[in-house]
């Protein structure tokens, strides 16, 4: 490294052992062996001292924290693909570079999206819980018992056709779903052709047409409550909605109401508006079998998390070698 002094790096959560070892070799690191969520005060104190902070999904780093940061803080190297928890604009204003970990969690998140797409209509969580609750006993196969709904032949509407949305579309096509999507711009013709995908400029029109909605766009001011009460009312009563992106893209109170009123058939959620808390009304709906809830597990594979760590390492090293890090994030233009 050109800079002889080892950068001081503060990592907010426990990372895979291999990643932490490499971090220790290269940098002067403070790790979080207990893996406890850091408080705002702890983040503020660290940001006063270090050259680099490595925050993860739950660490809100807003303009106030950034303005109070010490003069040495040069890099916010997120251990996450999403950077909605960081005020990137405030960081950029202060000359602090922000990086993320794109690409390496695309396939894992798409797999989990597909798992939710299957698990709600086919009642996977309900069936599994039934066996757990009855010590493995069940009444035996019956023609009319535990019937769900067929996936094959249905229409999926993907909101956000970036890397993850496209990876979901590939899987969905293999499961016999026809692909519809809404995106800020149309994807290239070759991808549309490969997926036999229909582009909907109007999200409202797409929602009224499809059987399964998959939310795969980033959380930005423009996508906050994109799925509002009004839009939920456009969905067919037989439709399902799956969200592996960010909780605040769906108006969660409106979703709960729509599920309770039978305005839609079910939901599969890996993310929540007030994470890490989960609305008790959603938990009740899960107990009734109308929703499947996961605690933000979309990218939770060992391989993916090690790859994310490698990206963070490369971003830090590249920065301190005097180059632009490969995964620099710029403020969102709205
Ligand atoms: C991310 O990195 O933004 C993902 O949401 C983690 O699963």
First vs last C-alpha separation in the chain: 37
Candidate of 16, 272, 299, 301 to mutate for ligand 1, largest count of ligand atoms within 8 Å of Cβ: 299
- For the segment 46-67, what is each residue's pLDDT rounded down to a tens digit? 999 999 999 999 999 999 999 9
User: Taking phi first (over 0 means left), then psi (-120 to 50 degrees means alpha), and beta for anything else, what does residue 95 get?
Assistant: left
- For the segment 218-238, what is each residue's pLDDT rounded down to a tens digit? 999 999 999 999 999 999 999
Q: In the prediction, which pLDDT does 3 show?
A: 47
Q: Is 113 in the pocket of ligand 1 (CB under 6 A)?
A: no
- For the segment 256-313, what is each residue's pLDDT rounded down to a tens digit? 999 999 999 999 999 999 999 999 999 999 999 999 999 999 999 999 999 999 999 9
Pairing relationship of beta strands 75-77 and 240-243 according to DSSP bridges: unpaired
Q: Is 327 in the pocket of ligand 1 (CB under 6 A)?
A: no
Report how far residue 286's alpha carbon sits from residue 257's, in angstroms, rounded to the nearest whole number. 14
CB 235 within 8 A of CB 259: no
Sign of the torsion angle spanned by Cα atoms 305, 311, 314, 318: negative
Q: In the prediction, which pLDDT does 2 show?
A: 46
Nearest CA, atom 2, ligand 1 = 80
Q: Is 315 in the pocket of ligand 1 (CB under 6 A)?
A: no
**Domains of the chain listed by start with CATH number:** 8-104+301-320 (3.40.50.720), 106-293 (3.40.50.720)
Q: Is 81 in the pocket of ligand 1 (CB under 6 A)?
A: yes
Q: Is 216 in the pocket of ligand 1 (CB under 6 A)?
A: no
Q: Please identify, by atom number, the ligand 1 atom nearest to the C-alpha of residue 100.
A: 2
Q: Is 57 in the pocket of ligand 1 (CB under 6 A)?
A: yes
Report how far residue 198's alpha carbon sits from residue 21's, in angstroms, rounded to the nearest whole number. 47
Instruction: Tell me the average pLDDT across 250-256.
Output: 98
What's the 92 CA to ligand 1 centre distance in angstroms?
22
Report how far residue 32's alpha carbon sits from residue 86's, in angstroms, rounded to the nearest whole number. 20
What's the 74 CA to ligand 1 centre distance in angstroms?
23
What's the 146 CA to ligand 1 centre distance in angstroms?
33
Say whether 222 sits in a helix, a strand or coil. Answer: helix
At residue 296's C-alpha, the angle toward residues 119 and 304, to 5°, is: 100
Q: Is 82 in the pocket of ligand 1 (CB under 6 A)?
A: yes
Nearest CA, atom 5, ligand 1 = 82
Tokens of 50: 């270090």
CB 325 within 8 A of CB 310: no
What's the 275 CA to ligand 1 centre distance in angstroms?
13
Number of CB atoms found within 10 A of residue 137's CB: 9
| Unique residue bearing structure tokens 């009312």 | 233
């Amino acid at each position: 490294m050109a800079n002889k002094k080892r950068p001081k790096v503060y990592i907010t959560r426990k990372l895979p052992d291999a990643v932490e070892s490499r971090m220790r070799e290269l940098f002067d690191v403070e790790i979080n062996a207990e893996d406890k969520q850091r408080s705002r005060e702890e983040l503020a104190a660290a940001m006063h001292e270090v050259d680099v902070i490595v925050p993860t999904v739950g660490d809100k780093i807003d303009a106030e924290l950034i303005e109070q940061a010490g003069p040495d803080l040069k890099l916010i190297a997120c251990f996450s693909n999403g950077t909605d928890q960081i005020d990137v604009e405030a960081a950029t204003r202060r000359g602090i570079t922000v990086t993320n970990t794109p690409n390496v969690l695309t396939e894992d998140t798409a797999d989990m999206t597909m798992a939710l797409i299957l698990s709600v209509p086919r009642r996977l969580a309900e069936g599994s819980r039934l066996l757990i609750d009855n010590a493995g006993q069940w009444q035996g196969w019956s023609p009319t018992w535990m019937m769900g709904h067929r996936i094959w032949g249905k229409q999926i509407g993907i909101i956000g056709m970036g890397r993850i949305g496209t990876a979901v579309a590939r899987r969905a096509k293999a499961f016999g779903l026809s692909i519809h999507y809404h995106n800020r711009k149309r994807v290239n013709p070759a991808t549309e052709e490969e997926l036999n995908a229909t582009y909907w400029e109007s999200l409202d029109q797409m929602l009224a047409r499809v059987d399964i909605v998959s939310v795969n766009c980033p959380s930005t001011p423009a996508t906050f409550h994109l799925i509002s009460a009004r839009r939920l009312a456009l969905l067919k009563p037989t439709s399902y909605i799956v969200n592996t992106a960010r909780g605040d893209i769906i108006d969660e109170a409106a979703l709960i109401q729509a599920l309770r009123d039978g305005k839609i058939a079910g939901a599969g959620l890996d993310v929540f508006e007030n994470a890490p808390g989960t609305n008790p009304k959603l938990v009740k709906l899960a107990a009734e079998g109308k929703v499947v809830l996961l605690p933000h597990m979309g990218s939770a594979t060992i391989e993916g998390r090690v790859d994310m760590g490698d990206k963070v390492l490369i971003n830090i090293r590249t920065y301190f070698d005097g180059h632009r890090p490969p995964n620099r994030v710029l403020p969102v233009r709205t």
